[in-house]
Chains A and B, each alone.
Chain A
């Protein structure tokens, strides 16, 4: 562990260059503004009336969860390849917000499903694959809490993280590969511009929040790890001087 301490601390210093706190505040403000813009400017949908507004958070949450899990996959692969603790911590940070956003996607989908589909939930391919994605990343986060040895934790998390992220293309393509109750992806062809423009603005705003969240969690994890390493070294030296 001692060998990795110095680069870790140095890395956390180097990466603190961008003002992530302000970027996070800006992202949240942008998201609130985008939500208000969407709610105020788009008319009630032909079929679902104002229920359609749920789309402005449900869809960006799903897209950004996909991005977060892509980060998990890349960082986990890099960890398995290079064995750097920083990659493990980056994967964990991305997995946290990815899980949160997947939970939000499911919750909003259920709120929309009850009045639209007539039911809160059904086990069709899109909902099932999304639930699997969600539970795999909950398992990922639980695994991290239970394994104390950092190296083992990192190795096993990387494996679970990669397996979990493999679900992302399945979730995305589920509505095309199988028959579902969920609709297929919309596009500017199927969405009037009054809906897809606010949808895209909201997705970008949420992406700023996503990146700031990952950066913040990553930075604090790096600092915590550096502090832990220092503590370990101090304990070792104390033990050594007593002997």
Chain B
């Protein structure tokens, strides 16, 4: 093998080691750190003062009966619940198609000092349940009726 070839090989090998090392570090960082993708309402509320005004994600279920949707202002309020704790969330714009009472959600935003979580991004966390609709059951109708105006039933 020529010298030039050897140098090329060495460069590629070093580059690959760096790439692989960086990825490995990222993965291990993920494992060892206490970084969680989202906080539950309980965890957020237990942070006390540290909970406020930081970019965080909050996850839980849409508390049944808590959804208030203003179709003209595209303004959405609902509570995210986990266990017995709830956090009021305010969001602008229409939520994703599967948004409804009891659905899992993750919101990105900030918890304001007035106790309202200001959401910049509302995401649906779908469960691993895949079910055929039962006779007469139409969850997608719920979204439609919700979007037409007023509060969900």
Interface residues of A (CB under 8 A from B): 42-49, 52, 55, 115-119, 122, 124-125, 128-129, 132, 135-136, 139, 143, 146-149, 152, 156, 160, 163, 167, 170, 177-181, 183-187, 190-192, 194-196
Size range of the chain B interface in the assembly: 35 or more
- Let me know if B131 is at the binding interface, CB within 8 A: yes
Q: How far is it, in angstroms, between the C-alpha of A44 and the C-alpha of B141 when the chains are bound? A: 14
Among B12-20, B46-54, B69-77, B145-153, which stretch is in contact with chain A?
B12-20
- State whether A116 and B27 are in contact (beta carbons under 8 Å apart), knowing that A179-B36, A194-B132 are contacts in the complex: no
A52 to B127: give the CA distance in the assembly, Å: 12
Q: Pick the contact of A149: B1, B98, B123, B126 (CB < 8 A).
A: B1
Question: How far apart sit A128 and B12, CA to CA, in the bound complex (Å)?
Answer: 25
Q: For residue B24, which residues in chain A have a CB less than 8 angstroms away from its CB?
A: 163
Residues of B within 8 A of A128 (CB): 26, 30
* Between-chain CB contacts (< 8 Å), 9 pairs: A45-B133, A46-B139, A47-B126, A119-B121, A125-B37, A132-B23, A170-B27, A178-B37, A190-B127
Q: How far is the CA of A102 from the CA of B77 in the complex (A)?
A: 38
Q: A146-B8, A156-B13 are in contact. List 8 more A-B contacts (CB 8 A).
A: A46-B131, A46-B133, A55-B130, A132-B26, A139-B16, A139-B19, A179-B38, A183-B126
Report the minimal beta-carbon distance from B78 to chain A, rounded to whole angstroms.
Answer: 14
Assuming the contacts A143-B12, A179-B37, asked whether A163 and B130 have C-beta atoms less than 8 A apart, the reply is no
